[in-house]
């Protein structure tokens, strides 16, 4: 108590400015209590139909409670993780309440009947017992999406730059784009599965097609809306055409390009799931279809959750790339 | 560099109708001189600078710089616009280095960028982005972006037009010292009478569109000039007369 380490004081001050002081966090303590209560409820309230993995679920809840309690009492010892947990403290409480209500409505009272509604522990059961199949499904989905999205984004970007830059390219490509672009990529599905040698390559094509249209349009409009003065300035400074395209037009159009990439990613998810449900014998879309065939509703809920996490992660990754690329811009929307 | 404008006429098309902006304009500027082109807004002065920069070609007549007819843009003649128009995705340093990079000679000339940034008083701002700069600083970067190419002819299109009045006065003085140090020919387009006679050795007055030269006035005062000089007031009176605004003074 007699000596004050200046570095510790400084860290404390920095944390205090973001409202997470060194003191005990009451919100996190409440969260810890809520999660402990949820654990108790899961463990001691008997299920209407006995289900496996109730105890594991209770243990996980207890684990969350312990982590919340430790963070609440330890101040900023855990650094960044602690400040994240403190920020989400109120959400942590609400999450415990939601879990408890869900548990009561399904496993404990059966107000929401099986098999149409899954209890938390039955979803846990899927993750514990079927993680291998779920995991490979995610891997296949991501791989397929990556291939299609990469080729689609590349083709869209190149097409957009070309028609944005060259009047004659625009003359020839624009009518085709207007005719084919608005057609949903899924409409090509029967034909694509017929023409392409494998359902995998057909799916890559469809995802690429779905991605390419918004990327093309937005890249094109980005290139077309570049301030003409940028070109004049670069030309008086001695720039050749290649410099004007690569160092002026494309960087100036990038904010638009990213809007196109986001739209493309969104549509590519839709095409991915449909393609996997109808043709490809792998991936999360296929897993959903397969689960439906076995009336395995628990697996469907679990797969939906995994799919949501996967899509959200991919969108987040794209946001990160954009933030890094466009760090020169003011007032970016955070994801 | 010697500037020769011979019988230049130029026009645009506006909604199908021809819009003449320059009407048989002729004048020459000596190498190393500072000439102001003064006239009402939208009279075609800026068009003249675009012709000299090689961004546009005159409908008739000839434009020559250094005795050579202007065919295309060249880094020896650089235009500075009213808006700084910096590239927002480039830092200050990268904006200034633009010309050297475009000409493919940046590698061996990186020191020139640092030097010119120091010259315009922006040392230490190399890594800033344009949106972080004030209007005056951004215009200084635009000047540095021109000067780093060591142009022989600097075409200034109301470069101080959008600055606040205090920054503007300071930048006027800086502009004169930059011109003197770099020993280049400067052509300044402005609609500010005081700015023209305070900065230039010679003021060419244009009438309303289509622009025609109505007066060519020598400002026979040594530098550094003093804003309170009674001779400047006399000259201003004379210029305003040519613009048909003498009654307001």
How many CB pairs below 8 Å do chains A and B form together? Answer: 67
Write down the pLDDT at residue A115.
79
Q: Is A3 part of any domain?
A: no
- Closest listed residue to residue A296, CA positions, set A304, A55, A101: A304
Q: Is A80 part of any domain?
A: yes
Angle between helices A131-165 and A120-129 (to 10 degrees): 90
Pairwise CB contact (< 8 Å): B145 & A237: yes
Give the span between the Cα atoms of B225 and B239, in whole angstroms. Answer: 18
Which stretches of B194-237 are assigned E, i.e. beta strand?
Answer: 202-206, 213-218
- Which of A65, A97, A122 represents a domain boundary (last residue)? A122
Whole-number percent of chain B with pLDDT over 90: 18
Pairing state between β B185-190 and B153-157:
parallel
Of chain B residues 31-90, which have a CB less than 8 A from chain A? 50, 53-55, 73-75, 77-79, 81, 83, 85, 87-90
Give the span between the Cα atoms of A161 and A184, in whole angstroms. Answer: 23
- Mutation choice for A interface testing from B55, B80, B89 by most A CBs within 10 A: B89
Q: Is A13 part of any domain?
A: no
Of chain B residues 150-189, which have a CB less than 8 A from chain A? none
Same domain for A299 and A266?
Answer: yes
* Chain A residues touching chain B at CB-CB below 8 Å: 227, 229-230, 232-240, 243, 247-248, 251-252, 254, 326, 328-330
pLDDT band at residue B249 using 50, 70 and 90 as cut-offs: low
Pairwise CB contact (< 8 Å): A234 & B102: yes
- Which of A85, A102, A122 represents a domain boundary (last residue)? A122
Same domain for A218 and A280?
Answer: yes
Which stretches of chain B are assigned E, i.e. beta strand?
Answer: 3-14, 17-29, 34-38, 60-65, 68-69, 77-80, 153-157, 185-190, 202-206, 213-218
Same domain for A235 and A150?
Answer: yes
Same domain for A118 and A141?
Answer: no
Q: Is A312 part of any domain?
A: yes
- Which of A95, A122, A149 represents a domain boundary (last residue)? A122
Same domain for A67 and A152?
Answer: no
Pairing state between β B77-80 and B153-157:
parallel
- Closest listed residue to residue A85, CA positions, set A32, A40, A8, A124: A32
pLDDT at B1 over 90: no
Same domain for A206 and A265?
Answer: yes
Pairwise CB contact (< 8 Å): B73 & A326: no
Give the span between the Cα atoms of A119 and A54, in whole angstroms. Answer: 10
Give the span between the Cα atoms of B149 and A45, in whole angstroms. Answer: 81
Residue of B nearest to A330 (CA): B131
Same domain for A206 and A259?
Answer: yes
Least CB–CB distance from B87: residue in A230, A236, A243: A230
Same domain for A233 and A309?
Answer: yes
Residue numbers of the domain that contains A73: 18-122
Same domain for A179 and A288?
Answer: yes
Q: Is A9 part of any domain?
A: no
Q: Is A43 part of any domain?
A: yes
Same domain for A113 and A63?
Answer: yes
CATH of domain B3-85+151-248: 3.40.50.300
Task: Please report, in tens digits, the pLDDT of each residue of chain A (335 residues total).
Answer: 333 333 333 444 444 444 444 578 889 999 999 999 999 999 999 888 888 888 999 999 999 999 999 988 887 777 788 888 888 999 999 999 999 999 999 989 989 887 788 899 988 998 999 889 999 999 999 999 999 999 999 999 999 999 999 999 999 999 999 999 899 998 998 899 899 998 889 999 999 999 999 999 999 999 999 998 999 999 999 889 999 999 999 999 999 999 999 999 999 999 999 999 888 888 999 999 998 898 888 899 999 999 999 999 999 999 999 988 888 876 655 55
A233 chain-B contacts, CB cut-off 8 A: 79, 81, 85, 98, 145
Indicate the domain borders of chain B. 3-85+151-248
Same domain for A116 and A135?
Answer: no
Pairwise CB contact (< 8 Å): B102 & A328: no
Tokens in use for B164? 């606040």
Number of domains in chain A: 2
Q: Which residue has the tokens 């995705």?
A: B89
Write down the pLDDT at residue B212.
82
User: Using alpha carbons only, what angle is made at residue A276 by residues A304 and A178, rounded to the nearest 5 degrees?
Assistant: 105
Give the span between the Cα atoms of A186 and A274, in whole angstroms. Answer: 7
CA A320 remoteness from chain centre: 11
- Closest listed residue to residue A188, CA positions, set A143, A148, A220: A148
- Closest listed residue to residue A216, CA positions, set A165, A152, A168, A268: A152
Pairwise CB contact (< 8 Å): A238 & B149: yes
Same domain for A166 and A66?
Answer: no
Residue of B nearest to A233 (CA): B79
User: Using alpha carbons only, what angle is made at residue A184 by residues A183 and A188, rounded to the nearest 5 degrees?
Assistant: 90
Tokens in use for A155? 């083709």
Which stretches of B106-194 are assigned E, i.e. beta strand?
Answer: 153-157, 185-190
Write down the pLDDT at residue A331.
60
């Amino acid at each position: 108590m007699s000596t004050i380490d200046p570095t510790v004081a400084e860290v404390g001050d920095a944390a205090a400015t973001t409202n997470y002081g060194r003191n005990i966090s009451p919100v996190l303590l409440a969260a810890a209590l809520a999660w402990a209560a949820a654990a108790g409820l899961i463990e001691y309230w008997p299920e209407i139909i006995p289900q496996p993995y109730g105890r594991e679920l209770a243990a996980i809840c207890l684990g969350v409670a312990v982590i919340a309690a430790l963070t609440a009492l330890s101040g900023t010892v855990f650094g960044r993780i602690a400040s994240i947990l403190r920020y989400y403290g109120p959400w942590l409480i609400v999450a415990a309440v939601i879990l408890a209500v869900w548990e009561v409505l399904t496993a404990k009272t059966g107000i929401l009947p099986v098999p149409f509604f899954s209890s938390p522990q039955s979803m846990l059961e899927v993750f514990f017992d079927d993680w291998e199949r779920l995991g490979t499904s995610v891997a296949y989905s991501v791989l397929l999406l990556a291939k299609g999205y990469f080729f689609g984004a590349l083709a869209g970007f190149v097409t957009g730059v070309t028609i944005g830059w060259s009047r004659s390219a625009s003359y020839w490509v624009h009518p085709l784009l207007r005719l084919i672009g608005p057609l949903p990529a899924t409409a090509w599905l029967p034909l694509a599965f017929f023409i392409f040698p494998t359902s995998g390559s057909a799916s890559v094509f469809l995802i690429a097609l779905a991605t390419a249209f918004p990327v093309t349009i937005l890249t094109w409009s980005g290139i077309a809306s570049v301030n003409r003065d940028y070109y004049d300035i670069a030309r008086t400074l001695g720039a050749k055409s290649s410099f004007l395209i690569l160092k002026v037009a494309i960087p100036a159009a990038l904010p638009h390009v990213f809007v196109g990439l986001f739209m493309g990613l969104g549509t590519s998810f839709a095409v991915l799931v449909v393609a996997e449900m109808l043709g490809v014998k792998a991936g999360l879309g296929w897993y959903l279809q397969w689960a439906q065939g076995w009336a395995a509703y628990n697996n469907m809920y679990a797969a939906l959750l995994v799919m949501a996490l996967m899509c959200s992660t991919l969108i987040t990754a794209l946001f990160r790339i954009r933030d890094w690329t466009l760090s020169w811009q003011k007032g970016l929307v955070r994801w | 560099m010697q500037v020769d404008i011979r019988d230049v006429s130029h026009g645009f098309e506006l909604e199908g109708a021809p819009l003449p902006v320059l009407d048989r304009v002729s004048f020459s500027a000596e190498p190393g001189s500072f000439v102001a082109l003064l006239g009402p807004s939208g009279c075609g002065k800026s068009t003249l600078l675009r012709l000299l920069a090689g961004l546009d070609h005159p409908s008739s007549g000839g434009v020559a710089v250094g005795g050579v007819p202007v065919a295309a843009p060249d880094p020896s003649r650089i235009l500075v616009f009213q808006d700084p128009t910096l590239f927002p995705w480039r830092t200050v340093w990268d904006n200034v280095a633009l010309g050297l990079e475009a000409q493919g000679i940046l590698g061996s000339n990186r020191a020139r960028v640092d030097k010119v940034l120091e010259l315009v008083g922006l040392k230490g701002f190399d890594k800033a982005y344009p949106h972080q700069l004030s209007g005056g600083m951004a215009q200084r970067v635009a000047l540095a972006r021109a000067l780093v190419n060591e142009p022989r002819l600097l075409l200034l299109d109301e470069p101080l037009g959008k600055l606040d009045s205090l920054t503007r006065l300071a930048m006027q003085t800086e502009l004169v010292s930059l011109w003197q140090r770099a020993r280049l020919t400067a052509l300044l387009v402005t609609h500010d009478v005081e700015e023209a006679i305070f900065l230039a050795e010679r003021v060419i007055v244009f009438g309303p569109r289509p622009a025609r030269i109505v007066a060519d006035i020598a400002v026979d005062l040594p530098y550094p000039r003093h804003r309170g000089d009674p001779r400047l007031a006399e000259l201003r009176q004379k210029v305003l007369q040519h613009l048909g605004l003498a009654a307001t003074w």
